[in-house]
Amino acid sequence: MTTETRNIPCLITIFGATGDLSHRKLFPSIFHLYQQNQLDEHIAIIGVGRRDWSTEKFRNEIKASVEKHVQDTEKLDEFMEHVFYQSHDVSDPSSYEELLTFSNELDSKYQLEGNRLFYLAMAPQFFGTVTDFLKSSGLTETDGFKRLIIEKPFGTDLASAEELNKQIRRSFKEEEIYRIDHYLGKDMVQNIEVLRFANAMFEPLWNNKYISNVQVTSSEILGVEDRGGYYENSGALKDMFQNHMLQMVALLAMEPPISLNSEDVRNEKVKVLRSIRPLKESEVKQNFVRGQYDKGQIDGEQVKSYREEDKVADDSNTPTFVAGKLLIDNFRWAGVPFFIRTGKRMKKKGIQVIVEFKEVPMNLYYQRDSELESNLLVINIQPNEGLSLHLNAKKQVQGIETEPVQLSYSMSAQDKMNTVDAYENLIFDCLKGDATNFTHWEELKATWKYVDVIQNVWDNDKAPFPNYRAGTNGPIKSQLLLSIDGFKWWDDIN
């Protein structure tokens, strides 16, 4: 629940501070909050890492990163005076004793009121170790708040997620744990709730009486690049579908909460995720399609196949593409399929939601055997943030023929996928104590329970990979997934 709106005193301790995420996202985001006066002089940041660096060396590295990723660097030198570094061994108790002493010194110097935010930007296998030591060292014993931000992946299946959750809960309460999903920090993802609940024209139509299907697509033109080792152990199902994609489904399908309190919003999301019709193993093949990219052309350049990428097995069974059909068994959505698609090395880059409305009962404007164009609500999350409404209108000629028209609103033409802004929003939310756009354990448990069934089937069934060329819209079978129900992917809609 939000208790304060701005200028919250806090000591932010970032584990894994010398890593790529910290340099590209976290420090540029925190700096921008400082620059926008959302943070003030009562703030201090400790970067924790294995490298034997001095604070001066660390500041120089961070300053260079901020200058690279933030256009306006006014107040950067002032901000850097609040940034410090400690070389740290996460398995050594003495490192935490030194961190406690340093934290207390900074708390006193900057009048931080005992508020502490710990950000674990590191491999998940260290989460339990770090949180145990944070408690045993006394770092979590404070008069102010203590909060923990952790990155995905949170486990590799339900069993490992439950074990990890038990470890972390030894040191932090559920309301103190902020499981970050950067998709939930995107402005247009957060706008889904506003679009639905602040506009009387949409909410009465937001149900199975008027909507025929919902499509959610997240496509990338990039391959796995230097993440082959990680991706081999996750694939598109765990890297994208289990978290980002199902979170968007929850926002699209949830009932109106009784308030915008984080707990009320989360409760409605959990209800949706629990209402997704469970799959039997025998149903996976007819409801889900997996793919892996072959060599092909992207923007006129030849690119290699997934199996040719660095740290990827020659006979890899890892999917780089997943498409699925979900059914939500509740009163609002009974019978409405939600089609989800995510993949790498696809034809274009974008994150898009398309809500297709049902046809009018009788076509009065064409021949009886003709169909009107579908009414669509298109929510573009990336790259061109905005929305459009596709309607039918009379042609500007004699007669009564119709033509499709588009009412559009574009928020920005800038590609903001996984940029500073998403992390900036989420870090600020955490400082305020607003957990609305973070993943609750019950949400996580519901998504892993659903995904485990799919993963178990795929683990025991060798796929005929590769099965789609780079630069295309994925396997042909993903088209059939919709055509069986009389639908199609709206690939060329903006």
d(CA 355, CA 255): 16
Same structural domain, 54 and 107: yes
Count of the separate structural domains present in the chain? 2
Same structural domain, 366 and 457: yes
- Answer yes or no: is pLDDT of 227 > 90: no
Same structural domain, 221 and 150: no
d(CA 322, CA 288): 7
**Model confidence over 480-491: pLDDT tens digits?**
999 999 999 998
* Residue 467 confidence (pLDDT): 96
The pTM assigned to this predicted structure is: 0.90
**Model confidence over 58-90: pLDDT tens digits?**
999 999 999 998 888 999 999 999 999 999 999
5 lies in some domain: no
* Mean pLDDT confidence for 251-267: 94
CATH code of residue 468: 3.30.360.10
305 lies in some domain: yes
Q: Contact 461/335 with Cβ under 8 angstroms?
A: no
| Residue that is last in its domain, among 180, 203, 230 | 180
Same structural domain, 452 and 470: yes
Q: What one-letter code names the amino acid at 486? A: G
Residues at the binding site for substrate are 182, 186, 220, 239, 344, 349
User: Annotated catalytic, 244?
Assistant: yes
**Model confidence over 11-58: pLDDT tens digits?**
999 999 999 999 999 999 999 999 999 999 999 999 999 999 999 999
155 lies in some domain: yes
Same structural domain, 269 and 353: yes
Residues at the binding site for NADP(+) are 50, 89-90, 152
d(CA 334, CA 478): 22
**Model confidence over 427-472: pLDDT tens digits?**
999 999 999 999 999 999 999 999 999 999 999 999 999 999 999 9
157 lies in some domain: yes
429 lies in some domain: no
**Model confidence over 107-159: pLDDT tens digits?**
999 999 999 999 999 988 899 999 999 999 999 999 999 999 998 889 999 99
Domain holding 261, by residue range, is: 187-420+445-484
Residues at the binding site are 50, 89-90, 152, 182, 186, 220, 239, 344, 349
- Answer yes or no: is pLDDT of 421 > 80: no
Same structural domain, 89 and 104: yes
281 lies in some domain: yes
* Residue 412 confidence (pLDDT): 55
Q: Contact 118/150 with Cβ under 8 angstroms?
A: no
| Residue that is last in its domain, among 157, 180, 203 | 180
CATH code of residue 80: 3.40.50.720
Beta-strand relationship, 402-412 and 468-469: unpaired
Same structural domain, 402 and 270: yes
**Model confidence over 335-389: pLDDT tens digits?**
999 999 999 999 999 999 999 999 876 665 555 555 667 889 999 998 888 999 9
How far, in whole angstroms, is CA 168 from its chain's centroid?
A: 21
Same structural domain, 195 and 175: no
Same structural domain, 125 and 256: no
d(CA 194, CA 173): 30
Same structural domain, 261 and 282: yes
Instruction: Tell me how far CA of residue 344 lies from CA of 293, 302, 319, 320, in angstroms.
Output: 7, 15, 10, 6
Which residue is catalytic, options 23, 244, 390, 440? 244
Q: What one-letter code names the amino acid at 351? A: I
| Residue that is last in its domain, among 180, 212, 227 | 180
213 lies in some domain: yes
Instruction: Give the percent of the chain with pLDDT over 70.
Output: 93
494 lies in some domain: no
The strands making up 177-179's β-sheet, listed across from edge to edge, are: 83-87, 43-49, 10-15, 116-120, 146-150, 177-179
Same structural domain, 287 and 394: yes
Same structural domain, 228 and 270: yes
Structure tokens at 27: 């420090």
